[in-house]
Chain A
Amino acid sequence: MVMASATTIIAVVAVLMITYTMNNRFNDSIDRTTEQNNTQIVDNVSDSIDSYLKEMISVSNTISKLLIDYDLNKVFNIYHFVLRDDIDTIAVFDSQGELVMKTDSRLLKENVGIKHQHWFRSIAPGSRMYVFTEPHVQRLYKGEYRWVISLSKGVEWTDGDNKHQGVMLVDLNFNNIKELCSKELGEKGYLYIIDTNGKLIYHPRQQMIYAGIEDKTIPIACALEDGSEIFIQDDGRMLISVKTLKNANWRIVGVSPLNGLLTYDEELRNFILLIVIGVVFLIILLSIIVSFFITSPMHRLMRLMGRVEADNFNTFSTARGFYEVKELSFSFNQMVYKIKRLMEQILKEQQLLRKTEMKALQAQINPHFLYNTLDSIMWMAESGDQKNVVKMISALAQFFRLSLSGGYDTISVIDELKHVENYLVIQKMRYNDQFDYEITYDEAVIKCRTLKILLQPIVENAIIHGVANLPYKGIITINAGIYQDKLRFVVSDNGFGINPRILKDILEEKPSTRSGIGVYNVNQRIQLMYGTEYGLHFDSQPDEGTTVSIILPLHT
């Protein structure tokens, strides 16, 4: 379950990251395309409006040229501009605001107050300059209040010898401008016109702005140089493109929202959303399947492992699944098998150890030894050798006490040496000082631990087969010391030595003689306890003597 959720989370994060990155990349390219498009459209529109204004200016120029001769009829006859539905009025007023001529026959209303009107005052009569006014309501005719843009131009004409100056008015309604600005600019984009002072000339939602709902892009567009820029507004990112006209101080502004791929195209956004959801579903599904093939075999292995912990070594894994699971299952089986074998081996070794120890003990309480010793004591007692009787009995008592040593497997080196000394005391007396002995040791090892009853069987061997029947006095030396970081006992005698044939096999197989068993037993016990690198080492020269080394680990 944990694995399923982990993979799901990782995969979902990955999918989201990919989506996010792709979205950003797409948005960048959409931004660039939109910018190119907008700039182009704004350029086109400003070109057409420029040429429209130029046309209007040339109309006024033509009329003012005709006017110079003050032939009004000619003006009327040649020009019928009134036929144009984008021109409301063409009229000429003198410097006092009195009507001089008009291209149509509609009557001006009384008290029209031309002199006070903004369009009349914004140009000097006769100046030959022209100006486009902001949109305003024209009130030349009764009951007619139309929104127009006025082109005012200062004009001059002569009437005989009199030079006159005046103002020509060309009122443009918005028919043409509206059409020119109705170019589509993306799905929600629009075009509008402001003048260089930020006053609105034309906007597709002009009435809305007049009623008081601001277009927040207008102040931004005012501050912009010609070109395109991206702005972030309350309702998203906006691309604003601006182009200033040549024939008037007007600027064309194109605004289009840049909502990016995901908000721009709702269908696409939903599609991507669906894909993401689909992938998430798919991932969850796959996670479940994967966990079915991996996690559940793991669980089974875990349960099996629990059984192994509870000492059931007959467990066998049959888990199936992917390669890894199979490997794991195989290793598990191998491991269980090995543990099982090791356990059996340890068990066997332990049993063997007990058995050999028992044998060593049995060897101690050898009835022959006891009988012979007691027999010796009896003879000593009979001969009244009190002193030796006490010595012998005390040695015998100590010998047995140390043999038992409280039931422990190991005893200290010094105790082991005492044990073998007691034995030597007894045997020396029994053999009537046939041999001498010497025990030396390194002070460093006396506290080390050693298996008990190691030296006694060796010494017994040395007495019986070495020094017992010598024609001269035998010597047995025992030394305990450290040799190559190991504890070493060395038992040497100057006896007959061991026949090389026997020596060769002495540690290999169970010998038939009783004393042979003792030596074999010692070696076996050491190796069972400490491993095969430890044990006995025999060095014997016929008629010169035998040296037995006992190598043990250095334990304290």
Chain B
Amino acid sequence: MKNKICLVFLILVIILNLCSCTTAKKSFNVDLIVKSTDSEFWASVYDGAKAAGAKYNIDLRFLGPTKEKDYQNQVSIIKQSIVRQPDAIILAAGDYYIMAEPMEMAVKAKIPVILVDSGVNSDKWTSFVSTDNYKAGEVLAQEIEKRVGGTAEIGVISFVKNSLPSLERTAGFSDYISEKTNMKIVETVYCDSNIEKSEQLTKEMIENHPTIKVIAGLNAQSATGAARALEALERSDIFLAGIDCTVEEADYMEQGIIDVAVLQNPYLMGYFSVETAYNVLMKKRVERNIRTEVYVVDKDNMFSEEYQRLIFPFY
């Protein structure tokens, strides 16, 4: 009898010890893999992600190629991330087709993938947090129609040919222009999210189409490059519309070179993507598609209480 009691006590002590080992604070590791680590837009996404990470006790790693055009590197970055076995991966795919395979590898390795901003050609992901890019293109076209209208000729500077936002915005933009207006898209070029290339392409475009009246830059780099070109050519008469608004673009907007911009909310996207990752890890139900709003800003409202908050990051 006495031996039995001793045995039970021994087992009890062992159980208690084991329990105390697991009392460490619970936190998750999440890798945020973006298209470019050297961009105001992705910095803002990261800021939002960090804010949510702090709230939900998540350790974030901010990964990605330096330049957006090096999306090939993203494949190896994803693969390295999978090896490290994070609890979840948040991915902004640099290429709609190429990233599908590494993304599915992550899912196969039982790592849930939340897409942010840019999708991939696969449906294995858990949730997709993004701007409604088709709508963003449409809104941009709508603003141009409202502010220029008529039979104006339009040059489009898109960014990375096979990234989903680029595809969707171009589609949304050109669908609206061709179906609902009398304007015409004379050329669509791709700047690979490179400001210098965009500037060059804009100059060439103006040269090739001297009658061009409107230029639409479908992301920050496209619009910035176009603005630089217009400034250099002193062609502020050409109506420049862009998607996103960096501080540099804000300056161009104040000068009247950029006439209208459709804003996304990258900070909120980052925040929502981490929040969604947390909900997935906590086994809560999440929406498959989470869309953030777009806003229209111009020279007149850019310093309004509402929009200055979205354009200029608060440090």
Contacts and interface: CB of A to CB of B under 8 A. Distances in A.
B139 to A, nearest CB: 18
B12 A211 contact: no
Given A137-B308, A278-B12, A211 B25 contact: no
B261 interface: no
Give chain A's interface residue range (CB within 8 Å of chain B): 20 to 34
A267 B25 CA distance: 8
Nearest to A270: B23
A443 interface: no
**From B5, B12, B247, B303, residue with most partner A Cβ within 10 Å:** B303
Interface string A172-200: 00100000000000000000000000000
A271 B20 CA distance: 8
A285 B5 contact: yes
Given A137-B312, A145-B250, A208 B267 contact: yes
B20 A136 contact: no
B310 interface: yes
B254 A139 contact: yes
Nearest to B19: A274
Interface in A497-542: none
B290 to A, nearest CB: 13
A390 B176 CA distance: 148
B125 interface: no
A142 B25 CA distance: 48
Dominant secondary structure at the A interface? helix
Contacts, number: 76
Contacts of B303: 136-137, 139
**Max count, chain B CB within 10 A of own CB: residue among A136, A210, A278, A292:** A210
Contact of B25 (A136, A147, A212, A266): A266
A267 B265 contact: no
A289 B2 CA distance: 10
B55 to A, nearest CB: 9
Interface string B279-315: 0000000000000000000000001010011111111
Given A137-B303, A210-B310, A211-B48, A142 B251 contact: yes
A210 B314 contact: yes
A145 B313 CA distance: 9
A211 B309 CA distance: 7
Interface string B6-23: 001000100110011001
Contacts of A473: none
Given A213-B271, A267-B23, A285-B8, A145 B247 contact: yes
Nearest to A143: B251
A212 B312 contact: no
B47 interface: yes
A211 B20 contact: no
A147 B308 CA distance: 9
A304 to B, nearest CB: 23
A147 B20 contact: no
A145 B308 CA distance: 10
A206 interface: yes
B268 A212 contact: yes
Contact of B314 (A142, A207, A213, A285): A207
B244 to A, nearest CB: 14
B265 A212 contact: yes
Given A205-B51, A210-B310, A211-B48, A270 B268 contact: no
Contacts of B267: 207-208, 210-211
B38 interface: no
Report which residue of A139, A205, A266 has the largest number of chain B beta carbons within 10 angstroms of its beta carbon: A139
A266 B48 CA distance: 27
Nearest to A207: B314
B19 A207 contact: no
A110 B308 CA distance: 20
Nearest to A175: B315
B51 A213 contact: yes
A211 B307 CA distance: 10
B282 to A, nearest CB: 13
A177 to B, nearest CB: 12
A281 interface: yes
B70 interface: no
A206 B51 CA distance: 10
A70 to B, nearest CB: 32
Interface string A198-222: 0000000111101111000000000
A266 B23 contact: yes
* Candidate in A213, A270, A278 with the most chain B CB atoms within 10 angstroms: A213
B248 interface: yes
Nearest to B54: A205
Interface in A132-164: 134-137, 139, 142-143, 145, 147
Choose among A142, A147, A212, A281 the residue with the greatest number of B CB atoms under 10 Å from its CB.
A212
Interface string A270-298: 11011001100110010001001000000
B247 A213 contact: no
A211 B247 contact: no
Nearest to B308: A137
A208 B51 contact: yes
A143 B268 contact: no
A271 B47 CA distance: 36
Contacts of B248: 143
Contacts of B16: 274, 277-278
A206 B314 contact: yes
Nearest to A112: B254
Nearest to A205: B51
Nearest to B271: A213
Given A211-B309, A289-B5, 8 more contacts: A135-B314, A145-B247, A147-B314, A206-B314, A267-B23, A273-B19, A277-B15, A278-B16
Task: Please name the 4 residue pairs, one residue from A and one from B, whose CB atoms are nearest each other, closest first.
Answer: A210-B309, A211-B267, A270-B23, A208-B51
11 contacts: A136-B305, A137-B308, A137-B312, A143-B251, A145-B251, A208-B51, A211-B271, A285-B5, A285-B8, A289-B5, A292-B1
